[in-house]
Amino acid sequence: MKRVLLLGTVLVVGGLSAVDSSEQQLSQAALDATVIEQVRDNLYVITGSSPLDRSAFSGGNTGVYVGEEGITLVDTKLPGWGQALMDRIRTVSDKPVTTIINTHTHGDHVGSNAFFPESVQIVVQENTEANMGRLGMFEGDTAHGMPDTTYQDSLTLGSGADRIELYHFGAAHTDGDTIILYPGLRVLQMGDMFPWRDAPFLDRSNGGSGVSFPETLQALIDNVEGYDTVVPGHIPVTTPESLAEYQRFTADLLAAVRGAIEAGQSAEEAAASIDLTGQYEGYRTERMAAAIAAIYEELGH
């Protein structure tokens, strides 16, 4: 029962935020926290924030790639943020937005898709298209916020210096997570496969898996080369070493949960006893109990 309540709380918080920002004015705190920063050359990030910081929550980090032909956006924050995104984009470029890539189905990453014109090409991994179809967010006059193009394992958009590569390595945060490599700039954008320094949100209702999470991240690390900068889902730009540390964290979390199950602990007891903060400096613990409960459920306990 406890684990159902925990998951319910997460979903309700996300839902309320979406309603707040689409139907009311965006909070000044959220607008102030949402700035455009240059990552490298023609790649920018419009900063995201943490869902736990409700008064200033706008959604995840938004990538802004200014190509020869137009702008590619990666993720569009919560509903109601389209104009705020455009205001910030216009401070660095007057080119049209031609493409949106959504890293996964969540409302804080796809929420403002429909603000953009129908002509904008929206690209997602194929499982994310199915997940987005169940959101109920893209119907009637917002139906054009649904994807136009899908792929299974990998996809290349653009060519030459403007090449953008999309990869899917299996279930992790959801079953449709996309990682984006900007090869010309040596930057990797992670979505919520590396959301923050805390336990990941394991969205079991959209095929997420805490059991697969470490191996999915390891497959990415083993198979994708050519980046020296990493854009996480919700926290500031960081390093490949920090991404590798997150992979180890998810593996250690899974191992600790398996150990707790073998020791006969309940999910609640495991949440009270598992502490990885000694090994992972600066990591937070607000999301540990929910992740541990989700792994217990996935392992049939």
**Is the CB of 106 or the CB of 168 nearer to Zn ion?**
106
Q: How far is the CB of 221 from Zn ion (least distance, A)?
A: 20
Taking the CB of residue 146, how many other CB atoms lie within 10 A of it? 18
- Residue number, 77 or 106, with CB nearest to Zn ion: 106
Q: Which residues contact 274 (CB under 8 A, 6 or more apart)?
A: 253, 256, 257, 260, 288, 292
Strand, helix or coil for residue 164: strand
Q: Which stretch binds Zn ion (CB under 5 A): 51-59, 192-200, 220-228, 261-269?
A: 192-200
Q: How far is the CB of 228 from Zn ion (least distance, A)?
A: 25
Site track for Zn ion across 28-67, x = CB under 5 A: ----------------------------------------
**Which residue lies nearer to Zn ion by CB, 53 or 68?**
53
CA distance 169 to 46: 26
Q: 225 vs 180, 182, 219, 221, 247, CA distance in Å?
A: 12, 11, 11, 8, 16
| Burial per residue of 227-266, b for 16 or more beta-carbon CB atoms within 10 angstroms, e otherwise | bebbbbbbbebbeeeebebbbebbeebbebbeebbeeebe
Which one of 88, 106, 168, 234 is in contact with Zn ion (CB under 5 A)? 106
Least distance in Å: CB of 173 to Zn ion? 6
**Residue among 259, 185, 250, 198 at smallest CA distance from 221:** 250
Minimum distance between the CB of residue 206 and Zn ion, rounded to whole angstroms?
A: 9
Q: Which residue's Cβ lies closest to Zn ion?
A: 106
Cβ 190 to Zn ion shortest distance, Å: 11
**Taking CB under 5 A as the rule, does residue 88 contact Zn ion?**
no
Nearer to Zn ion, 106 or 287 (CB): 106
# residues contacting Zn ion (CB under 5 A):
2
Neighbours of 194 (CB within 10 A): 29
192 binds Zn ion (CB under 5 A): yes
Stretches 61-69, 89-97, 184-192, 213-221: which one binds Zn ion (CB under 5 A)? 184-192
* CB-count burial class (<10 Å; 0-12, 13-18, 19+) for 282: exposed
Residues 219-248 that bind Zn ion (CB under 5 A): none
**9 CA to centre of own chain:** 19
Specify the length of the chain in residues.
301
At closest approach, how far in Å is the CB of 177 from Zn ion?
9
Residue 224: φ, ψ to 5°: -110, 125
Least distance in angstroms from the C-beta of 107 to Zn ion: 9
The yes or no reply on residue 177 touching Zn ion (CB under 5 A) is no
Cβ atoms of 138 and 122 closer than 8 Å: no
Residues at the contact surface with Zn ion, assessed by CB under 5 A: 106, 192
